[in-house]
Structure 1
Amino acid sequence: MEKVTIAGAGLVGSLLALYLGKRGIKVDVYERRGDMRKVQVDAGRSINLACSNRGWRALSGVGLEESVKESAIAMNGRMMHSVEGNLTFQPYGKEGEAIYSISRAQLNKILLEEAEKQPSVDIHFHHKCMDIDLENATARFLDEANQREIQSEAQVIFGADGAFSAVRETMRKKLRFNYQQQYIEHGYKELTIPPTADGQWALEKNFLHIWPRKQFMLIALPNTDGSFTCTLFLAYHGEKSFENLQTREQVSKFFAEEFADVVPLIPNLLDEFFTNPTSSLVTISCSPWQYQEKIALIGDAAHAIVPFYGQGMVSGFEDVRVLNDLIEEFPNEPILEKYANARKDNGDAIAELALRNFIEMRDLVGDPSFLLRKRIEALIQELYPGKYIPLYSMVTFSHICYKDALAIGKRQQKMLDQMLKIPNIENVWRTEAFTEVIHQFIKEFKDAVLLK
């Protein structure tokens, strides 16, 4: 692989260019938008990102883990806010384990800067992908600044151009291509909790704050400037939905009833609500991810997912790392099919996990039986260190394949469902005798729920 074209200079495309550039591969990156380093990024258009172990591993591979962490804020767990304003804390993992909040724009700027430092990488902005010649790995772009068409010839074209990928669309039209997209019934709208008068955070900064309300929710992630980016996830239609929040009075009443404790923290609530867009959430599954050794999809172009596991960017970064590992392992062999085979099932698995986690976040995190389940799991993990890892920790704090984590997690759920049927379990689990109960359950489910 000596010459590559990448469509898309977002997070995944920039990281891919950086990895390939460090190998001395000639890389041309084409991005439809302008250079985000030179223009102000529109507010209200991007969910804050969460980075965890898989993402840090990919960034570490190009020497960026520590510098990016300097621009991130650790979130040690969820802080749930009830309707009455009561707080309940739920740690994400063991002590010291955290996910990190980071600005999408800031991270993208870092990756663009590092990619452009590579002598073999050139990034072209305002270039719209018009068509792909799959057989010859040639891409046709419109230079929108000069209104002229150009051709980019390469050995391989990577589609890193997001959920509505032009590269994928060409594959869909010209190949026997399987494609499915599913919009969930909810959309999202971003709001802002500004810093306090003295420049501090208005809420405890080292948590992901959640206001779970069964069929909808509000979340808040901290930013380094003392603000929080809030995201309201709400159905488009129904009794409590975006369609029924059309006036300032309706919005004021809705927030006063559902999120009373956050209202004083968002002074521009009504203006932001009606200014910031309502955006949709889509899951995309497709195959094949590659055509011969000439075309490959990566990141959202291959597997767009909803954001509820904090793994959208992270799974795309893992795509890049796995691809790089394959290039390293098989330097003189075709690797695109190996890459697709390694990642397709995992892409489907994290898509399923992300949809399931939405239900957990909006419906379950405040439910007593769910919280009891989490406490019991923590106890099992303590009794079987390194052998029993809860699903969330497998996804977030390990490098276990998504598909394996999903399969193990389903078996863990089956065991815990049975455990929670024990009479008076809410009191029994606190007793010393319960340790023996756990050992008996683990003995029965051992091969299914313990890591080898």
Structure 2
Amino acid sequence: MSKQITIIGAGLVGSLLAALLGKRGYQVNVYERRADIRNANISAGKSINMACSTRGWKALDLVGAGDKVRKAAIAMNGRMMHGIDESLTFQPYGKENEAIYSISRAGLNQILIDHADEYENVNFQFEHKCIDIDLDRTIASFELNDNETKYVESDLIFGTDGAFSAVRSVMQKLKHFNFSQEYISHDYKELSIEAKNGEFQMEKHALHIWPRGSHMLIALPNPDGSFTCTLFLPYEGENSFEKLNNESEIEAFFKSKFPDAFKLIPNLIELFNENPTSPLVIIKCFPWSYKGKVTLIGDASHGIVPFYGQGMNAGFEDVSILNELMDQHGDNWIELFQEFENSRKPDADAIADLALKNFIEMRDLVGQEWFLKRKKIERALYETFPERFIPQYSMVSFTNTPYSEAVRKGNQQDLILDELVNKEDILDIIERGDFKSFVETNHMIPN
């Protein structure tokens, strides 16, 4: 049995994996380049709130941390669209009681580190910057604060150190290692809407979106009554971060594009200038493992943009799948890692593509009349034929359907929706209660 396991990266996936491996009896050492987040003064500016959904809860419950996280999370039952005229339109995500859950990245990370730390066989070491890996001898080299170098030998190394993984940078030098890094044309900046007298200033149980074509603002609720907001703008060109260089330009932009949000952020200029502008990157690579000794999981192997709320959920699902494969393969890590990467890679690519597609939906489409009509039809199909028609968003967020299968089924559904949305009186048919017979008579959904 491989007893000594090194995890590099104590972020969300690394700390969850540490809890799983600790629970399974392995001796686990987790190394993190940052200081202990539990003791640090968390600076705002680089965190998009997490949206936990079914895949995430499955993994959290697997390690016994689900209930701890639920106490710190807020249900979001749908999208609340904010028009330029300050009008509000609500779109439910799924059926009643189907919700995604807002939680701060830092808060969740603290919970998971604490949870994993409860195991005597799990040890966290902070301020250890990984500078090299000897892949064949499974020796990790770390630079400490005093410039001393520390060498750690173990049986297995997991790289859970994010999109700019030090572990992956070593693997990239291997023959036949495929790697791509794509920055999208948009950057992001964190802002916040504070509570007023301890109360939420907008609907608490919604993900708020200000869709504006080439750009958008979103806001997710926090337990203290505040909202973590994220502004997504092109980094250059018209309506871009490049153009917002002084107080008057920033104010004029927000007043014209997000008038209701502008009224709720009195410290807008301060936040805008203090918080960094950060890029958004898509990472794809393969293979994810080396000789059953070293493997990448989470963003280190498949970094995606945040527009489907699935980056964390996909990383957590990696941990669930690893757990199932450990049950099947025991300590045959070569076979285990090969099956993991071969089965998981198509799903990782699928959610990367879906996340980019959802960005276009969120910023361009959600406020358009034809799109709202399409969503009403989709909802009617889901409610009328719950066993035969599950919308793609619901498959991704509220089931454990493989992402690649959700893409395949979603493409089939698009054909059905395209046909129905072009029928002028379809909303009247739904209103009259004739929808079920209409769909069945026209054989629009396969049995």
Q: State the TM bucket, normalised to the shorter chain.
A: over 0.9
Deviation at 1:104, TM superposition (A): 0.7
Deviation at 1:437, TM superposition (A): 2.9
In the alignment, which residue of structure 2 is the partner of 1:230? 229
Counterparts of residues 24-63 of structure 1 (less than 5 Å): 24-63=25-64
Residue identity matched to 1:234? L
In the alignment, which residue of structure 2 is the partner of 1:169? 169
Q: Secondary structure, in 3 states, of the residue corresponding to 2:199?
A: coil
Task: Confirm or deny: 8 A CA contact 1:292 1:337 kept in the other structure.
Answer: no
- CA pair 332-159 structure 1, distance change in 2 beyond 3 A: closer
1:179 aligns with 2:170: no
Residue identity matched to 1:185? S
Task: Confirm or deny: 8 A CA contact 2:193 2:229 kept in the other structure.
Answer: yes
Deviation at 1:33, TM superposition (A): 0.7
In the alignment, which residue of structure 1 is the partner of 2:72? 71
> 1:388-444 CA deviation, whole Å, 9 max, x = no partner?
100000000000001100111011112211222224445454344443332245x35
> 1:367-400 CA deviation, whole Å, 9 max, x = no partner?
1111111111111112212221000000000000
* CA distance, structure 2, for counterparts of residue 98 and residue 35 of structure 1: 31
> 1:114-148 CA deviation, whole Å, 9 max, x = no partner?
111111111111111111111121111112x2321
Residue identity matched to 1:152? V
In the alignment, which residue of structure 1 is the partner of 2:3? 2
* CA distance, structure 1, for counterparts of residue 153 and residue 22 of structure 2: 17
* CA distance, structure 2, for counterparts of residue 343 and residue 34 of structure 1: 32
Counterparts of residues 147-226 of structure 1 (less than 5 Å): 147-196=147-196, 198-226=197-225
Residue identity matched to 2:322? L
Q: Secondary structure, in 3 states, of the residue corresponding to 2:163?
A: coil
* CA distance, structure 2, for counterparts of residue 280 and residue 130 of structure 1: 23
1:102 aligns with 2:72: no
* CA distance, structure 2, for counterparts of residue 133 and residue 49 of structure 1: 34
* CA distance, structure 1, for counterparts of residue 435 and residue 343 of structure 2: 41
Task: Confirm or deny: 8 A CA contact 2:54 2:398 kept in the other structure.
Answer: yes
1:378 aligns with 2:408: no
Deviation at 1:106, TM superposition (A): 0.8
Q: Secondary structure, in 3 states, of the residue corresponding to 2:407?
A: helix
In the alignment, which residue of structure 1 is the partner of 2:294? 295
Residue identity matched to 2:438? V
Task: Confirm or deny: 8 A CA contact 1:188 1:231 kept in the other structure.
Answer: yes
Deviation at 1:39, TM superposition (A): 1.1
Residue identity matched to 1:346? D
376-385 or 31-40: bigger deviation: 376-385
In the alignment, which residue of structure 2 is the partner of 1:450? none
In the alignment, which residue of structure 1 is the partner of 2:323? 324
Q: Secondary structure, in 3 states, of the residue corresponding to 1:240?
A: coil
Q: Secondary structure, in 3 states, of the residue corresponding to 1:85?
A: coil
* CA distance, structure 2, for counterparts of residue 436 and residue 288 of structure 1: 50
* CA distance, structure 2, for counterparts of residue 279 and residue 286 of structure 1: 22
Deviation at 1:81, TM superposition (A): 0.6
* CA distance, structure 2, for counterparts of residue 349 and residue 241 of structure 1: 29
Q: Secondary structure, in 3 states, of the residue corresponding to 1:173?
A: coil
1:92 aligns with 2:93: yes
Counterparts of residues 259-408 of structure 1 (less than 5 Å): 259-334=258-333, 335-408=336-409
Contiguous gaps of at least 5 residues in structure 2? none
> 1:216-252 CA deviation, whole Å, 9 max, x = no partner?
1111111111111111111111211111111100011
Identity over aligned pairs, percent: 52
Task: Confirm or deny: 8 A CA contact 1:128 1:141 kept in the other structure.
Answer: yes
* CA distance, structure 2, for counterparts of residue 440 and residue 80 of structure 1: 35
Q: Secondary structure, in 3 states, of the residue corresponding to 1:338?
A: helix
Task: Confirm or deny: 8 A CA contact 1:183 1:281 kept in the other structure.
Answer: yes
Q: Secondary structure, in 3 states, of the residue corresponding to 1:430?
A: helix
Residue identity matched to 2:147? Q
* CA distance, structure 2, for counterparts of residue 43 and residue 93 of structure 1: 31
> Aligned residues, how many?
444
Residue identity matched to 2:162? G
Q: Secondary structure, in 3 states, of the residue corresponding to 1:33?
A: coil
- CA pair 167-175 structure 1, distance change in 2 beyond 3 A: farther
Residue identity matched to 1:158? F
Q: Secondary structure, in 3 states, of the residue corresponding to 1:43?
A: coil
> 1:264-308 CA deviation, whole Å, 9 max, x = no partner?
110100111111111110111100011120111000000000000
> 1:27-69 CA deviation, whole Å, 9 max, x = no partner?
1111111111111112111111110111001000111111210
* CA distance, structure 2, for counterparts of residue 99 and residue 369 of structure 1: 25
Counterparts of residues 434-449 of structure 1 (less than 5 Å): 434-441=435-442, 443-446=443-446
* CA distance, structure 1, for counterparts of residue 433 and residue 23 of structure 2: 56
Task: Confirm or deny: 8 A CA contact 2:68 2:111 kept in the other structure.
Answer: no
In the alignment, which residue of structure 2 is the partner of 1:255? 254
* CA distance, structure 2, for counterparts of residue 341 and residue 415 of structure 1: 32
In the alignment, which residue of structure 2 is the partner of 1:430? 431
* CA distance, structure 1, for counterparts of residue 444 and residue 49 of structure 2: 42
* CA distance, structure 2, for counterparts of residue 68 and residue 239 of structure 1: 41
TM-score calculated relative to the size of structure 2 = 0.97
Residue identity matched to 1:116? D
Q: Secondary structure, in 3 states, of the residue corresponding to 2:204?
A: coil
> 1:307-340 CA deviation, whole Å, 9 max, x = no partner?
0011111110000111011112221433111111
* CA distance, structure 2, for counterparts of residue 176 and residue 30 of structure 1: 28
* CA distance, structure 1, for counterparts of residue 129 and residue 193 of structure 2: 36
* CA distance, structure 2, for counterparts of residue 262 and residue 112 of structure 1: 34
* CA distance, structure 2, for counterparts of residue 432 and residue 276 of structure 1: 51
* CA distance, structure 2, for counterparts of residue 50 and residue 438 of structure 1: 34
Q: Secondary structure, in 3 states, of the residue corresponding to 2:431?
A: coil
